[in-house]
Amino acid sequence: MEIPKAYDPKLAEERHYARWEAQGCFAPEINRDPAAPVYSIVIPPPNVTGSLHMGHALQHTIMDVLARYHRMRGHRTLWLPGTDHAGISTQIQVEKLLKKEGTSRHELGRDKFLERVWEWKERYGGEILSQMRREGASVDWSRHRFTLDEGLSRAVREFFVRMYEKGWIYRGEGLINWCPKDQTALSDLEVDKVTKKDGQLFYLQYPVKGSDRRVTVATTRPETMLGDTAVAVSPKDARYADLVGRTLVLPVVGREIPVVADHFVDPEFGTGAVKVTPAHDPNDYQMGRRHDLPQVKVIDQHARMTVEAGREFAGLDRYEARALVVEKFEALGLLERVAEYEFSISQCGRCATVIEPLLSVQWFLKQAALGQKPLELMREQRAPHFVPETPYEKVYTNWLEGLHDWTLSRQLWWGHRIPAWYDEAGNVYVARTEEDARRQAGTDDLTQDEDVLDTWFSSALWPISTLGWPDETDDLKTFYPTSVLVTARDIIFLWVARMMMTGVEFTGERAFDDVYITGTIFDRHGQRMSKTKANGVDPLVVFEKYGVDATRIVLASIGTTDTRWNDTQVESYRNFANKIWNAARFCLLNSEGAQVGKGFAGEPKTWALHDRWIMSRLQKATRDTTQSIEAYDFHAAVQTIYHFFWDDFCDWYIELSKADVAAPDASPARDAARSRALTVLEQALRLLHPFMPFITEELWLRLPGVGTDQLHAAYKHAEPTVMLAAFPQPREELIDERAEGEIQSLVELVSRVRNIRAEMGVRPGEAVRLLVSAPDAALRAVFESGAQQIARLVRASEVAVGDSISAPKASARAVLAGGAEVAVPLEGLIDFAQERERLGKEREKLGKEAEKIEAQLANPNFVGRAPAEKVAELRQRSEDIAQRTRMLAETLEALAD
RNA sequence: GCUCGCUUAGCUCAGUGGUAGAGCACACGCUUCACACGCGUGGGGUCGUAGGUUCAAGUCCUACAGCGAGCACCA
């Protein structure tokens, strides 16, 4: 068998995915156990406009690790993929295209435009899906869903109608966030608050009618004064008490406006008097309603001044109008002052245009009503369980406690059209279909609402709509509630909370048991990766450079941590993949006569010490990995497997077993040793598979003896693949603490001798003699029977073991645990002064530690109050140190002669 | 303004009240028959600062500093 020395990830990456998919490994139907527990995940549907970024790769890796792990556990596993139509983004994308062609959506008309968007979606919307295949994502493609699919659209209409019938969805006038560039309303969550550091606060004076008095108000938006219909002061403010109820004359405009008292006004802030513009400010809107103030709209949808703003202002841009207003006030002597002021402005989350609060008629959802059940679920059952719990459980709960109405309608064409129809008289009919609406209206002469729904409206239904709701499908019954939701923190409100709302509302059950919030990946300098900064690291480039598996295991390891990306991490796991490759290469080059599975044969008591040891280590690694994955602690899981594989298996086990495994002549003992190595390797590949699917499959298939036997019982009918192998279960009976202790002694001996060789400058090729002593017979037996292994590992010509040492004075020595000692005769090489110094340093180290321990043991409070077990442990250590110190002292004394 | 998080080796990060860790980087030595994407050895930390609780604090509490995030209707 030809096996290259270096692992080439591309080979495996190209070879296995299509086969897995073709054999149906990703679909839950592969599981033939009717009693199998169910495990399900729905993917956060990426935008059709999107291409894969590191955040996706992180989320997908976590989901794939979970899916593959549970599948190997024999669970009926579904990971459902899909994409989101992404209303605004997609529409903007296509509109840009049209602009290049010299046309526009308005020129095309609604139907033609939508045709173009669908065309675009078919052509480019699949990019992210093919990128997911590259990642190795084990999603069930047969269940792929798109938010505009007929089934999902039906769910959207059902949701809308039911909420309307409950009175939770309504149409009405409200002050909404308007993006003057995208020409649509936006919900509060689609607006970003951005700090404006170089802002200005203008102090404007309004004359009191029939008096010389002036009231000063402060504003960051002077142009809105054209729409002022009152000035408000605090009811508790003595300074203005006599003014309440009096009239002001609005400068420039000349309108007479009242002074009202409202509790909203903070007398401590600014001048204590606030201009009130009900049509253009959320707070003023509320105050306007409380005091029944007129609403004067002075800014339009394009952020230009209206006719109502006055002839001089009409048609001006809002910023031009601002300058002009300020100029006029100055001319009138009514501009008191302009102060530098830091405040925050609202920007469109998509195009960063400054939002204009506008009065308009839109559809709204009373989220507070829908949020009650999720809130109860959290309070009573603490569900869903957030990972990490802090801070997300609280963030989620706090948001649910303060819900505002959700502006649902968008003035776009791409999306789910609002299922509301109007007759000629303007009466509205909300229905699941146009036929229904006609029946309700008693006429065919209806016009459908022009607007579409917020993209997140359909996303809110994702876990149930993808599984077939509102129908009671088998999928819905089987896979809902889903097991876990994996996503980034920025959509906890936009998406996570809302899925919980609809899920609980329509099924009575939570949408998912757990919510796993991934960390954020920053660039090397700690900056958020973004398109505009062009500092993003492209996952595909990293895949290309280091391999998919290496990238995945790094991402899994990152998990919930915010981290700065650095390639060196991936490089080190690329090296790990190569290490796995070469360990397997060694096993395979020495596999004649051996078979996977036979490694467990025979009574463990009869196995070689190093075999008992590696099997024990394997069980612990298996146990710890399982526990870590179950606890979503992927970092710990990766560390466990990494160190088991590299340190235990490669550095020690392969070296300790080499003489047996690579013996020149065939024998049952050699077969057994080879089988053992192969079996441990095979088990390790299974542990690694969820993290590194490609290399594990590539190697696993090459192992002699793998087949149906290794598959989980639920998959016995399937073609052999490590993907469907049973995830290892720890076998407690193979945990052997004694063997672990003995190998630890052996490892210590080898390490100390290697240290002596390096420090004393023994040439690498030169063999040394070892004189080993151990007072304990059992320990002596370990060294005696391991003499050949020790000799091989330290390049010794001889390893003499006895109950005491009589070594030449010209020897380097080391004291070991359990009172053991080793001497390496180094005639001619040893410099006595140097050796004395080396040993002296060690004695000093021991001395310091002894001092600390003695102090603690001398403390009656410690001995009295600490657990007896801790005290005993410390006494044991103290004795061990004392013994070593004594032995070192003797050695030093002997050297001094 | 409120809430929360982070601060551990040169870098990126683990760390469960009981002997401070990993990978990379660094230094020295190695063509040792799986692997130089490797092997062996070594150096490197007042765990942000100051208090407190405790027999014992990187770990728990308080304050402060720096960095970051989220929320909020302060004109």
Q: What is the CA radius of gyration of chain A?
A: 37
- pLDDT of A526 strictly over 90: no
Q: Contact A151/A109 with Cβ under 8 angstroms?
A: no
Residue whose CA is minimally distant from B37 C1': A575
Separation of CA A640 and C1' B33 in angstroms? 30
Burial category of A474 from C-beta neighbours within 10 Å (exposed 0-12, middle 13-18, buried 19 and up): exposed
Q: What is the pLDDT of residue A854?
A: 87
A244 touches strand B (CB under 7 A): no
Residue A448's pLDDT band, with cuts at 50, 70 and 90, is very high
Separation of CA A404 and C1' B24 in angstroms? 49
Separation of CA A664 and C1' B32 in angstroms? 18
Separation of CA A650 and C1' B68 in angstroms? 41
Residue A809's pLDDT band, with cuts at 50, 70 and 90, is confident
Q: What are the helix (H) ranges across A136-263?
A: 150-166
Chain centroid offset of residue A887 CA: 53
Q: Contact A434/A446 with Cβ under 8 angstroms?
A: yes
**What is the rounded average pLDDT for all residues in chain A?**
93
Q: What is the pLDDT of residue A848?
A: 83
Query: Which of the 271-310 residues on chain A come under 7 Å of nucleic strand B at their beta carbon?
Result: 271-272, 274-275, 282-283
Residue whose CA is minimally distant from B13 C1': A563
Express each pLDDT in A590-627 by its tens digit: 999 999 989 998 899 999 999 999 999 999 999 999 99
A869 touches strand B (CB under 7 A): no
Separation of CA A370 and C1' B31 in angstroms? 71
Q: Contact A410/A456 with Cβ under 8 angstroms?
A: no
Query: Which of the 484-523 residues on chain A come under 7 Å of nucleic strand B at their beta carbon?
Result: 489-490, 493, 522
Q: Contact A691/A63 with Cβ under 8 angstroms?
A: no
Q: A846 or A451: which carries more pLDDT confidence? A: A451
Express each pLDDT in A151-178 by its tens digit: 999 999 999 999 999 999 999 999 999 9
Q: Contact A109/A116 with Cβ under 8 angstroms?
A: no
Nearest to A232, CA basis, from A203, A268, A267, A259: A259
Name the pairing type of β-strands A200-207 and A214-219.
Answer: antiparallel
Nearest to A348, CA basis, from A576, A186, A538: A186
- The DSSP string of A709-773 is GGB-GGGTTSPP-GGGBPPP---GGG--HHHHHHHHHHHHHHHHHHHHHHHHT--TT--EEEEEE
Please name the nucleotide lying closest to A624, CA to C1'.
Answer: B16
Separation of CA A646 and C1' B16 in angstroms? 24
Tokens representing A349 are 């989350």
Q: What is the pLDDT of residue A897?
A: 62
Residues A479 and A487: their CA atoms lie apart, in Å, by 19
In this structure, of A408-412, A564-568, A711-715, A888-892, the range with the lowest mean pLDDT score is: A888-892
- The DSSP string of A51-89 is ---HHHHHHHHHHHHHHHHHHHTT-EEEEE-EEB--HHH
Amino acid (one-letter) located at A502:
T
Q: What is the pLDDT of residue A609?
A: 96
Q: Which residue has the tokens 């600014």?
A: A270
Express each pLDDT in A296-350 by its tens digit: 999 999 999 999 999 999 999 999 999 999 999 999 999 999 988 888 889 898 8
Q: Which residue has the tokens 């002061």?
A: A233
Query: Which of the 644-663 residues on chain A come under 7 Å of nucleic strand B at their beta carbon?
Result: 646, 650-651, 654-655, 658, 662
Burial category of A281 from C-beta neighbours within 10 Å (exposed 0-12, middle 13-18, buried 19 and up): buried
- pLDDT of A268 strictly over 70: yes
Nearest to A151, CA basis, from A496, A410, A416, A406: A416
Q: What are the helix (H) ranges across A371-420?
A: 372-381, 389-401
What b/e sequence results for A564-602 when a residue is b if at least 16 CB atoms lie within 10 Å of its CB, and e otherwise?
A: ebebebbeebbebbbbbbbbbbbbbebbebbbbbbbeee
A755 touches strand B (CB under 7 A): yes
Separation of CA A708 and C1' B35 in angstroms? 30
Tokens representing A645 are 């594989």
Tokens representing A524 are 């090397």
Q: What are the helix (H) ranges across A371-473?
A: 372-381, 389-401, 434-441, 455-459, 462-465
Other beta carbons less than 10 A from residue A784's beta carbon: 16
Q: What is the pLDDT of residue A818?
A: 87
Amino acid (one-letter) located at A670:
R
Separation of CA A760 and C1' B38 in angstroms? 24
Query: Which of the 377-436 residues on chain A come under 7 Å of nucleic strand B at their beta carbon?
Result: 390-391, 394-395, 398-399, 402
A188 touches strand B (CB under 7 A): yes
Which residues sit opposite A768 in a β-bridge? A796
Give SS3 for A231: strand
Tokens representing A86 are 């992404």
Residues 6 or more apart whose Cβ sits within 8 Å of residue A892: A836, A839, A840, A843
Tell me A27's DSSP state: S
Which residues sit opposite A482 in a β-bridge? A512
Residues A672 and A675: their CA atoms lie apart, in Å, by 5
Q: What is the pLDDT of residue A509?
A: 96
Q: What is the pLDDT of residue A832?
A: 83
Residue whose CA is minimally distant from B29 C1': A758
Tokens representing A882 are 């004392």
Q: Which residue has the tokens 């080059």?
A: A589
Separation of CA A417 and C1' B41 in angstroms? 71
- pLDDT of A743 strictly over 70: yes
Please name the nucleotide lying closest to A643, CA to C1'.
Answer: B22
Q: What is the pLDDT of residue A801?
A: 95
Average pLDDT of the residues in A561-568: 91
Tokens representing A519 are 């960390």
Q: What percent of chain A has pLDDT over 70?
A: 100
Tell me A665's DSSP state: S
Q: What is the pLDDT of residue A842?
A: 83
Q: What is the pLDDT of residue A855?
A: 85
DSSP E strands, A180-228: 184-186, 191-196, 200-207, 214-219
Residue A896's pLDDT band, with cuts at 50, 70 and 90, is confident
Q: What is the pLDDT of residue A805?
A: 85
3-state SS, one letter per residue, for A831-893 = CHHHHHHHHHHHHHHHHHHHHHHHHHHHCHHHHHHCCHHHHHHHHHHHHHHHHHHHHHHHHHH
Query: Which of the 559-618 residues on chain A come under 7 Å of nucleic strand B at their beta carbon?
Result: 561-564, 566, 568-569, 571-572, 574-575, 577-579, 582-583, 585-586, 589
Highest mean pLDDT among A795-799, A853-857, A858-862, A872-876: A795-799
Residue whose CA is minimally distant from B70 C1': A395
Q: Which residue has the tokens 């509060």?
A: A188
Residues 6 or more apart whose Cβ sits within 8 Å of residue A532: none
pTM (2 d.p.): 0.95
Average pLDDT of the residues in A519-538: 86
- pLDDT of A1 strictly over 80: no
Residues A5 and A584: their CA atoms lie apart, in Å, by 11
- pLDDT of A200 strictly over 70: yes
Residue A197's pLDDT band, with cuts at 50, 70 and 90, is confident
Separation of CA A361 and C1' B59 in angstroms? 56
Residue A765's pLDDT band, with cuts at 50, 70 and 90, is confident
Bases in strand B with any atom closer than 7 Å to a protein CB: 3-5, 11-15, 18-19, 22-25, 28-32, 34-42, 54-56, 67-75
Please name the nucleotide lying closest to A547, CA to C1'.
Answer: B37
Q: What is the pLDDT of residue A544?
A: 96
Which residues sit opposite A68 in a β-bridge? none
